[in-house]
Chain A
Amino acid sequence: MAKVKLDDNKIQKIKDICAAHGNKAGEAINILHEVQNTFGYLPAEVQELIAEQIHVSAAHIYGIVTFYSFFTMLPKGEHPISVCLGTACYVRGSEKILDEFKRQLGINIGETTPDGKFSINCLRCVGACGLAPVALVGDKVYGRITTDQVKDIIAEYQN
């Protein structure tokens, strides 16, 4: 993985977040949530800095980040696409929708398009099962999607 250089601003911001949680090891998950909210993802350098601040090993933080699927070490696309693979969506054909997104964008789950615009992820049940199959682009929910509509949805964000 490419090294990420942290600028001083970022470093300070992360230190502030840790300090706001009393630099306590028990607060690791809350700190990671906040840092990810601020920067979008948690590269190794960020994890090391957090580990230092709250006096645990980098391996400890890495262990947490990799355990919880909500945490990501890779940046997402500008328009992250999440296809619901919850049961309700699955039985109403969301796998086909996922395949179509993958095909249209030429990327796999967890990847980002080379221009940084789109990334694809799966999630499980967003509570809109009545609209299954469901996908999200950013926060916007698209329901009752057909494979035909996938192209149009992507086009909405092309420019």
Chain B
Amino acid sequence: MSEYKMHILVCGGPGCSASKSEQIAANLRSHLQQEGLEKEVNVVLTGCFGFCEAGPIIKIMPDNVFYVKVQPEDAKEIVQEHIIKGRMVERLLYTEPSNGKKTPLDTDTDFYKKQVRIALRNCGIIDPENIEEYIALDGYKALATCLTEYTPEKVIEIVSASGLSGRGGAGFPTGRKWAATAKSKAEQKYIVCNADEGDPGAFMDRSILEGDPHSVLEAMAIAGYAVGADKGLIYIRAEYPLAIHRLQIALDQARDRGLLGKDIFSTGFNFDIELRYGAGAFVCGEATALIHSMEGLRGEPTMKPPRTSDKGYLGMPTNVNNVETYANVPAIILKGADWFSSIGTENSKGTKVFALAGQIKNVGLIEVPMGITLREIIYEIGGGMNGGKKFKAIQTGGPSGGCLTEKHLDIPIDYKSLSDAGSMMGSGGMVIMDESSCMVSIAKFYLDFTVEESCGKCTPCRIGNKRLYELLDKITQGKGTMEDLDNLRNLSHVIKDTSLCGLGQSSPNPVLSTLDNFWDEYVEHVKEHKCRAGVCKALMKYEINPEVCVGCTACARNCPVNAIKGEKKQAHQINQEACIKCGTCMEKCKFGAISIK
């Protein structure tokens, strides 16, 4: 890093890349070159900064100034003004909505202020394709410390004492898991990183791998030393080509420098890592299914015990951890178990990364200390509801989790409090909904996912979820009965109690939690044939109020199926038979004459 005077960090995360951040980086480079500054100012494409809503984001170091919503055309001004003249480009600074102030320092913003970054410590800071930058920030120092100063037992002791628990969903204590694999006796053991990230609305693990791949590689080597394994495997979704690319670069660079391979730090410890590709099956995120998939088979779960720590990959003891779990490990080794366990609550230590999404202002990736409330996340970090709409529900835990409401917003979040409230921590999906979401449809959305993803091995999951889906569908069609609501609940419990793996055991959660928290809305669908959110098409009717309609013809011209008739300057009408309920007419009517009945 040293030969450069300045660094321009350009977010290369998925959101910002989609808004041309690579072009921004290219333009910056070419303007720097024109000015003869290419040797002094380095342009780095980093991983996601987290604040995707304000993207594309760039940050200038060491000035520590961050610019938002940058366009490729802005490159020239940034180079001319900021880099050459040392003047901030005011118009690209972030304006804090709460006080209207320009905020050049990202850590001053409401979005970042309450965040604590451990797993994401390097994301948006280093060039993920350059191992030097990772090393410059104490990278591989934790591995060196473990190999040269600690016994494997000591490493496990530190991880146990830190209170780190699995970030992949279940929250199993990581130290205990490592100890179990360490205890198993075998010729060969394996360290596996679960990068299957199946929750369909989450990108935490992807961002860590794209923004800071070495932290995961380093942690896997530490785990290998702790449990006595010399081989690691990363099971990553084929749908993440950039993460795969960066991992491959990281692996090559680590091997080149002798940080992976034989006789690491001349301690006699060998460890290397291979990549294995997932192929789009949610159930393969489950540890036993993942192992079968790595063995080249259909990814069907098997009964536990035997646990993977006894019999895993190729029948050998295997330690499976999630990406985010691993990313915490080097920091714990370097800063100590006490430091880590001082963050969080009584029963959940450290931080959790969430992908904040939905009808909220600041969509993005956040890392917060355990114990923070949902209210703080939504209204401070998240900046409140999008368009000032009213909060309705928050979904955590993805297809295995549940929907919580206003009354849950003040509970300090940790593994236990979220599951007591009827949801779960899950892997980190967090979706905020306003009045425009129909809760029956949301439950149906998740069940649709589960039905598609059930591996089909056990009957309650394969058929039961399908029946749940059909019942929900019937309700959204306005054909449901009160008895169906009872059946939904009963069937949900049967599926939960009798399925083999975590998928089936948790798939009814979205149904149960919406039944509990939004009972009235279900009853409305059944008894009044009404969908208050205006989502269920079968239950709604677009109508033109003849009193308000001025006959501007905007609706008729835009209706994709020509369902609207009427003379110019006279009230129009909708042919309900032809209407496909697309809502275009309502959007187009400037006079508010069209409404949903």
Contact = CB atoms under 8 A, between A and B. Distances in A.
B201 A129 contact: yes
A123 B241 CA distance: 15
A28 interface: yes
B203 A129 contact: yes
Given A30-B277, A67-B281, A143-B18, A129 B363 contact: yes
Nearest to B431: A87
B297 A129 contact: no
Nearest to B298: A67
B281 A87 contact: no
A81 to B, nearest CB: 15
A125 B201 contact: yes
Interface stretch (B9-17, B101-109, B566-574): B9-17
Given A70-B279, A147-B584, A125 B238 contact: no
Given A33-B238, A67-B299, A127 B281 contact: no
B295 interface: yes
B205 to A, nearest CB: 10
B137 interface: no
A96 B297 contact: no
Contacts of A130: 15, 52-53, 55, 357, 363-364
B279 A127 contact: no
Contact of B297 (A64, A88, A91, A100): A64
Given A26-B296, A86-B200, A147-B582, A123 B239 contact: yes
Contact of A25 (B238, B296, B583, B584): B296
Contact of A33 (B48, B207, B279, B442): B279
Contacts of A96: 582-583
Contacts, number: 133
Contact of A68 (B53, B55, B279, B359): B279
A87 B398 contact: yes
SS class of chain A's interface: helix, strand, loop or mixed? helix
B536 to A, nearest CB: 12
Interface in A13-39: 24-30, 32-33
Contacts of B583: 96
B357 A132 contact: yes
A78 interface: no
Contact of A91 (B55, B238, B437): B437
A89 B442 CA distance: 12
Interface in B353-407: 355, 357-359, 363-364, 395, 398
Contacts of B14: 126-128, 141
Interface in A62-93: 63-64, 67-71, 85-92
B203 A64 contact: no
B296 A127 contact: no
Interface string B495-536: 000000000000000000000000000000000000000000
Contacts of B296: 24-30, 64
26 contacts: A26-B295, A29-B279, A29-B296, A30-B276, A64-B297, A68-B281, A69-B280, A70-B238, A70-B280, A86-B201, A87-B201, A87-B202, A87-B358, A87-B398, A88-B357, A91-B437, A99-B582, A124-B200, A126-B239, A129-B363, A130-B15, A131-B15, A131-B19, A132-B363, A141-B17, A147-B582
Interface of B: 13-15, 17-19, 48, 52-53, 55, 199-203, 206-207, 238-239, 276-281, 293, 295-299, 355, 357-359, 363-364, 395, 398, 429, 431, 433, 437, 442, 445, 449, 452, 455, 560, 582-584
* 7 tightest Cβ-Cβ pairs between the two chains A and B: A87-B201, A130-B52, A88-B357, A127-B14, A68-B279, A124-B200, A141-B18
